[in-house]
Structure 1
Amino acid sequence: MHITILALGSRGDVQPYAALGKGFKAAGHQVRFITFEDFAPLITENELDFHPIQGNAKELVANAGADLPALVRSFGSLAEGYARDLSAPHLGETDLIINQLPAGLFGFDLAEKYDVPMAQAAVIPLARTRGFPLMGFPKLPLPGYNKATYYLGEQIAWQMFRTVINRWRKKTLNLPPLPLLGYFGQLGTRRFPIVNGFSQYVVERPADWNEYVHITGYWFPEDRNWEPPHDLSAFIEAGSPPVFIGFGSMPVKDPQRITNIVLDSLKQSGQRGILHMGWGGLGNQLLPDHVFKIDYAPYDWLFPRMAMLIHHGGSGTTAFGLRSGVPSCVVSFVFDQHYWGERIAQLGAGPRPIRFKELTTERLREAIQLGVGDPKMRQKAIELGRKIQTENGIENALKVFEKITNRD
């Protein structure tokens, strides 16, 4: 079977899908991966065929900052380029399209053009439900409100891309234009199922999701060839387990100020720390001996060795944190990060999240003291981690996708 995976975003957005692609290839399938050109090394290391989209994820995120509307506009401004790069005729040589883009954008049209199945794949809950509102919307006790937020979110995304996509459909794909309200009622149906790469133990399945909305478990990448540098191993082994602090791909306008908050919080709480530079450039200053700076270490190796995790709440980082069995506290910037931070706290696996714009030394110190010092919280984190470790999300997903392509 030939599988095409379309995924755009930060490294954390793309990496689970690369892991999924690697799992497909190990099962004997051929995989083409469509993503930004700067992710070529990630796709190559997973030994997948690569079809590049012009653009640089890091630059897009840096230009938009932590402003979600600006981030959406940044990606939307490149829509013409997406259409151009997705017009290559060889993209029709596939048996299945797995689409990470919200609301099935672009992948829906390719599937229609080449008469192949498409599945919407997500690592955050985006399928319509009455159970809770779409991420990014507040919780309000209004009849019908929760489900309405999904319709509104879909239309925000669709109207931003509608003109470009309809022009592309007409001029390049020779398809009729889509209606004003789009095609979203077809997602989560037998024709266009939704496959969710997160854990049932973290996101409880809503009662109104039908049989075409699947939960497989997380799609974890593995970095088995990585060996820790001696100085990192020596630091970890030299004392009590440190606290990990890092904000991944999130831009930080004043990294020195945030670094100082981190250092003061660690000092006041009496903890050692691992500081991840990330895209925000934290730690570019003289650091005390009890804090070690890293540019990269695979989370599946690093997190289980920590006393606690402070991170931005990206879906991938959250998944690794929960699987590690170590308490986490999310310092959230945008969108799904607020949701994951609240979810961790609701599950008892970490302190209440902190909004990045409200981050202070006092709040961070209190979160560290609670996460490191509360035995009940630590036990909850351990129990949840063990449950997640029993899941094989990639194997489960493979069964779902093979069933999709073999349906009558």
Structure 2
Amino acid sequence: MLLSTYGSRGDVEPLVGLAVRLRELGAEVRVCAPPDEDFARRLDGVGVPLVPVSRSARAWTKEAPPASSLPQSAAEVIAGQFEAVPAAAEGCDVLVATGMMPAAAGALSVAEMLGIRSVSVTFQQLTLPAPHRRPLAYAGRPFPPEVTDIRALWDLDAQNIDALFGEALNTNRAAAGLPPVKHVRDYVIGDRPWLATDPILDPWQETPDLDVVQTGAWIVPDERPLPAELMAFLNAGAPPVYVGFGSMPMHASTDVAQVAIEAVRAQGRRVVIGRGWADLTLIDGREDCFAVGEVNHQALFGRVATVVHHGGAGTTTTAARAGAPQVVVPQLADQPFWAGRVAELGIGAAHDGPTPTFESLSAALRTALTPETRARATAVAGTIRSDGTTVAAKLLLDTVSREETAMSA
């Protein structure tokens, strides 16, 4: 089986979980993903081969292409799928497509070209048309303020996606001998998309237009020990506050680290700083702060007082499973949604806007650090499902088994 994506760590890590479970059930698995060193190292650590596609996702993210160049950037991503996926998919029965919409569109097109069964998967529900919720607006393409009808907004969403990605997708499809796609979004989603999120954190409301399969989040148990120096820091005092923004570049990263450390110190807490793609660093040599790079978040979040993060689906789920209160400082895309869910569930605070100040972050921390929030986070932790990869893996294997039976009949 081929698991294909292009995006940040939050797009790759779920595929690690699914790949591990599939291999445990006897399947051969490859992952097609950006050639970033941390992705390759993570996959190598679980014995799953990485087939590199396109260029570094970290470099792509840090460059932050302006909205006007998004079609050109998307064209590069789509072309990368057509270049890398055919060879990677050789001998595969099923292709699982995830990640950025143009990447998923390219991977699904390759599966169509090769006559391989494909499944479209999303790690958040906001790209799935729903009559009760507005779509996300793409950068540089805000929805007209006078349009308030939900269905009309979803129609505009489809038009925007076609304008951004349609030409590049259909150019590559034509070169591969495939017919043009009329609407990119509808092609990627299909009739039966999978939603790989936890139903408590991300409840899906049934709609008449889509048969959504919610598998639960794809998580691989992380058995890696925490570094000895980090363990010593954790054991030397009360639980610290973790601050990290994952794959977000956080262009004002120096100020963010300064603000975060000062706000946490004001609450009488120690700090663990996650460097991440923003390269956050310590602001002084005081012993109440510790900086970490790649580390086992499942183990670490069980040892902290609060997790301050950007609101990626994976980090939100990991913190929730660990019973750690959260402060979500959303930067873009689906992150405000996850911030809202954290606040609605009472397991933390949603920061207003992407740029924290000492005052705003201090207020959010005061909410997250209350005994009531801790108790609620502990209670919700016991409801988060851990079988998402098992559900998804068995569905995939059942699909292959049914097709093999049909072919031999």
* Cα deviation 1:173-204 (Å, max 9, x = unaligned): 2222233x347168342xxx211111111122
Instruction: Quote how far apart the aligned CAs of 1:160 are.
Output: 2.4
1:159 matches 2:163: yes
Superimposed CA distance per residue, residues 64-103 of structure 1 (whole angstroms, 9 cap, x where no aligned partner) = 08x7x47955741523641552464563532111100445
Which blocks of at least 5 consecutive residues in structure 1 are unaligned? none
Equivalence map 1:5-404=2 (5 Å) = 5-38=3-36, 39-64=39-64, 69=67, 72=70, 75-79=73-77, 81-86=79-84, 88-89=86-87, 91-103=89-101, 104-125=104-125, 126-136=127-137, 145-171=149-175, 173-179=176-182, 181-182=183-184, 184=186, 187-189=189-191, 193-208=192-207, 212-224=211-223, 226-357=224-355, 359-373=356-370, 375-388=371-384, 390-404=385-399
| TM-score normalised over the length of structure 1 | 0.88
How many residue pairs end up in the alignment? 395
CA distance in 2, matches of 1:139, 1:176: 30
Q: What is the DSSP-based 3-state SS (H/G/I as helix, E as strand, rest coil) of the residue aligned with 1:108?
A: helix
Counterpart Cα distance in 2 of 1:209 and 1:111: 27
Q: Would you say the 8 A contact 2:241–2:271 is kept in 1? A: yes
**TM-score, normalising length from structure 2?**
0.88
Q: Which amino acid aligns with 2:372?
A: K
Q: Secondary structure at the match of 1:250?
A: coil
Structure 1 residues 122-149: Cα deviation after superposition (integer angstroms, max 9, x where no partner): 1111322113223458999999833444
Measured against aligned partners, the alpha-carbon deviations of 1:360-404 in whole angstroms (never above 9, x if no partner) come to 10111111122112x22222211111100x431101112222344
Amino acid across the alignment from 2:163: Q
Change (3 A) 1:149 1:112: same
Q: Is the 8 A contact 1:136 1:336 kept in 2?
A: no
Q: Counterparts of 1:229 and 1:343 in 2: how far apart (Å)?
A: 32
Indicate how the Cα distance of structure 1 residues 149 and 354 shifts in structure 2: closer, same or farther if over 3 A, else same.
Answer: same
Identity, in percent, stands at 24
Amino acid at match of 1:396: V
Question: Partners of 1:213 and 1:202 in 2: how far apart?
Answer: 16
- In structure 2, C-alpha distance between the alignment counterparts of 1:71 and 1:327, rounded to whole Å: 38
Specify whether residues 211 and 338 from structure 1 end up closer, same or farther in structure 2 by C-alpha distance, changes over 3 A only.
closer
- Structure 1 81/274 Cα, relative in aligned 2: closer, same or farther at 3 Å? same
Q: Secondary structure at the match of 2:221?
A: coil
The question of whether the paired residues in 2 share the 8 Å contact of 1:135 and 1:335 is answered with yes
Q: CA RMSD in A?
A: 2.8
- Contact 1:19 / 1:46 at 8 angstroms: preserved in 2? no
Residues 377 and 89 of structure 1: CA distance in aligned 2, closer, same or farther (over 3 Å): closer
The amino acid of 1:399's aligned partner reads K
The alignment partner of 1:33 has SS state of strand
Gaps of 5+ in 2: none
8 Å CA contact 1:328, 1:344 repeated in 2: yes
| 90-99 or 393-402: bigger deviation | 90-99
TM-fit CA distance, 1:268: 1.6
SS in 2 for 1:326: coil
Worse-matched range after superposition: 318-327 or 251-260: 251-260
Measured in 2, the distance between the counterparts of 1:120 and 1:198 equals 14
Question: What is the CA–CA distance in structure 2 between the aligned matches of 1:381 and 1:286, rounded to whole Å?
Answer: 32
